[in-house]
């Protein structure tokens, strides 16, 4: 979508030095020469080669039939034959000349590639120049201010070796020029557009993190102070705590009743805190369902203190851990529901990042990482392997990775997922596999749950 990244690399900025401009002109002349030679080869070689083939066939036919050729040949036929032979000789000479030009063109192309490689080594394809070209293309001044470089007021920073600072913006935004320009079109200092769905779609396309904006989000009308902890952990917040514009439902009661409605919704019954959420992770059936207390008992008391729940829905896993003095950050997306706002209303910590996002934690820091259903076979294998290595990265030695109800097809279990997990290097503390039967055994659908440990050494 838009210009490729290589095109950005080669785009020049107006403030380059004269030497850089001269090199640019030389490269342009070089490209023109190469293009001209190739066009010449195309124009003359094709017709000439065809003539060679036809003339060759013609002379061969004449030779093969010479035994029956009449003794008396007309002068006009002899002249035509002589002319044909002369044209053949001329065509052969032309082909030899074109071959020489082609060899010269090849040398020029090689020289061009060497020059381009040298320019790349000089840093002409830096990320900064790519963004500067992108900013120029959008024509949106707010894009320039939001994602462009800013001069440090105190000069060159020893930590970066530069006097420029770039806001952190997802590289996927480079492919989404029009969408990013739309996202950054608003009244500066005014109220932000209610474009949550559009912004989240940008994130899911790889434009993550999104750039900051200089506007104020819309506030709910009649907002009230939240319910104090611990009552908030199991209380449905008032409707006045939410901006409902982006969602199909316009009240929490609608979200609670959605479990009775036809259709597919993300985490369909997650907002009903008196339903299945109330009993999640309280009981361990010795199979796919692990209990929180049984998992915590695998480690010395008090050593599981902080962690992450990937794709944690409405935050119930974090609520159960909070009751056990464990702080869990819950990542969640707002798929037609205010999941992040609901998690926060429970007195828990939401983080609005997709599963594609690198985990925003330093290495060897978390005691536990949990994920239920989100990590499954819908994720491409290579991407999943990157995610699992990232989880391994942020866990401390001895930290736990609780992979909860990973869905797959039967042949994928031994053929794909067990080898991937083995490559990461976790120790297996628990491992359970069970068939998913709600759609019939013939579907060959399976779940597996695992409690994995990052080795101490």
pLDDT exceeds 70 at position 220: yes
Please choose, from the candidates 100, 108, 109, the residue with its C-alpha nearest in 3D space to the C-alpha of residue 44: 100
Q: Measured on CA atoms in the order 282, 284, 289, 290, is the torsion positive or negative?
A: positive
pLDDT band, very low/low/confident/very high, at 116 (cuts 50, 70, 90): low
Cα angle vertex 73, ends 71, 74, to 5°?
150
Please choose, from the candidates 357, 420, 353, 366, the residue with its C-alpha nearest in 3D space to the C-alpha of residue 393: 366
pLDDT at 87: 75
* Cα(73)–Cα(357) distance, integer angstroms: 85
Written as one string, the DSSP assignment of 350-407 is EE---TTSPPSS-TT-EEEEEEESSSSTTS-HHHHHHHHHHHHHHEEEEEEEEEEEEE
Q: Poorest-confidence range of 100-114, 118-132, 217-231, 234-248? A: 118-132
Please choose, from the candidates 191, 192, 172, 171, the residue with its C-alpha nearest in 3D space to the C-alpha of residue 183: 192
The larger pLDDT score, comparing residue 56 to residue 177, is at 177
**Domain residue ranges of the chain, discontinuous segments joined by +:** 126-205, 280-311+355-454
- Give domain 280-311+355-454's CATH number out of 3.40.50.970, 3.40.50.150, 3.50.50.60, 3.90.190.10: 3.40.50.150
* Cα(105)–Cα(423) distance, integer angstroms: 49
* Cα(121)–Cα(102) distance, integer angstroms: 29
Please choose, from the candidates 279, 254, 359, the residue with its C-alpha nearest in 3D space to the C-alpha of residue 311: 359
Pairing state of beta strands 306-310 and 327-331? parallel
Look-up: residue for tokens 């990052």? 454
The total number of residues shown for the chain amounts to 457
75 CB-contact burial (10 Å; exposed 0-12 / middle 13-18 / buried 19+):
exposed
SS3 450: strand
pLDDT exceeds 60 at position 429: yes
Per residue, the 3-state secondary structure of 281-333, as one string, reads CCCCCCCCCCCHHHHHCCCCCCCCCEEEEECCCCCHHHHHHHCCCCEEEEECC
When pLDDT is averaged across residues 328-348 and rounded to a whole number, the result is: 97
> What backbone torsions phi and psi does residue 445 show, to the nearest 5 degrees?
-95, 140
pLDDT at 390: 98
When pLDDT is averaged across residues 50-69 and rounded to a whole number, the result is: 42
* Cα(309)–Cα(368) distance, integer angstroms: 9
Distances (CA, A) of 430 to 114, 373, 452: 56, 17, 7
230-268 pLDDT tens trace: 999 999 999 999 999 999 999 999 999 998 888 777 788
């Amino acid at each position: 979508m838009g210009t490729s990244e290589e095109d950005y690399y080669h785009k020049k900025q107006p403030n380059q030095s004269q030497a850089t401009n001269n090199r640019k002109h030389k490269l342009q002349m070089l490209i023109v020469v190469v293009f001209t030679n190739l066009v010449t080869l195309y124009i003359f070689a094709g017709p000439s080669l065809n003539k060679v083939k036809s003339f060759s066939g013609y002379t061969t036919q004449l030779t093969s039939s010479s035994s029956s050729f009449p003794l008396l040949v007309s002068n006009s036929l002899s002249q035509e034959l002589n002319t044909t032979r002369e044209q053949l000789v001329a065509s052969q000479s032309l082909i030899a000349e074109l071959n020489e030009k082609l060899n010269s063109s090849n040398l020029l192309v090689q020289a061009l590639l060497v020059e381009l490689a040298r320019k790349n080594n000089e840093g002409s394809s830096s990320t900064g120049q790519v963004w500067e070209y992108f900013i120029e293309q959008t024509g949106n001044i707010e894009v320039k201010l939001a994602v462009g470089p800013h001069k440090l007021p105190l000069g060159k920073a020893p930590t970066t070796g530069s006097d420029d600072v770039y806001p952190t913006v997802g590289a996927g935004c480079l492919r989404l020029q029009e969408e990013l320009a739309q996202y950054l079109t608003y009244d500066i200092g005014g109220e932000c557009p209610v474009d949550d769905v559009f912004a989240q779609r940008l994130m899911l396309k790889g434009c993550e993190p999104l750039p900051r904006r200089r506007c104020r989000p819309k506030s709910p009308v009649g907002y009230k102070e939240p319910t104090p902890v611990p009552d908030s952990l199991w209380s449905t917040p008032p409707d006045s705590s939410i901006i409902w514009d982006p969602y199909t439902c316009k009240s929490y009661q609608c979200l609670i009743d959605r479990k009775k409605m036809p259709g597919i919704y993300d985490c369909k019954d997650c907002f009903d805190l008196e339903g299945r959420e109330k009993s999640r992770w309280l009981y361990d059936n010795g199979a796919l369902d692990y209990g929180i207390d049984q998992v915590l008992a695998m480690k010395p008391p008090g050593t599981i203190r902080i962690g992450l729940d990937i794709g944690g829905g409405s935050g119930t896993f974090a609520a159960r851990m909070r009751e056990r003095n464990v702080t869990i950050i819950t990542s969640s997306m707002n798929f037609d529901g205010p999941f992040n706002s609901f998690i926060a209303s429970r007195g828990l910590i939401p983080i609005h990042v997709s599963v594609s996002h690198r985990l925003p934690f330093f290495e060897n820091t978390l005691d536990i990482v949990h994920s239920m259903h989100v990590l499954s076979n819908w994720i491409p294998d290579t991407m999943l392997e990157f995610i699992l290595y990232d989880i391994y990265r942020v866990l401390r030695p001895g930290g736990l990775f609780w992979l909860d109800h990973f869905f797959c097809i039967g042949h994928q279990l031994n053929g794909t997922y067990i080898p991937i997990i083995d490559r990461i290097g976790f120790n297996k503390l628990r491992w359970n596999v069970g068939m998913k039967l709600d759609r019939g055994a013939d579907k060959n659908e399976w779940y597996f749950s695992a409690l994995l440990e990052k080795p101490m050494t």
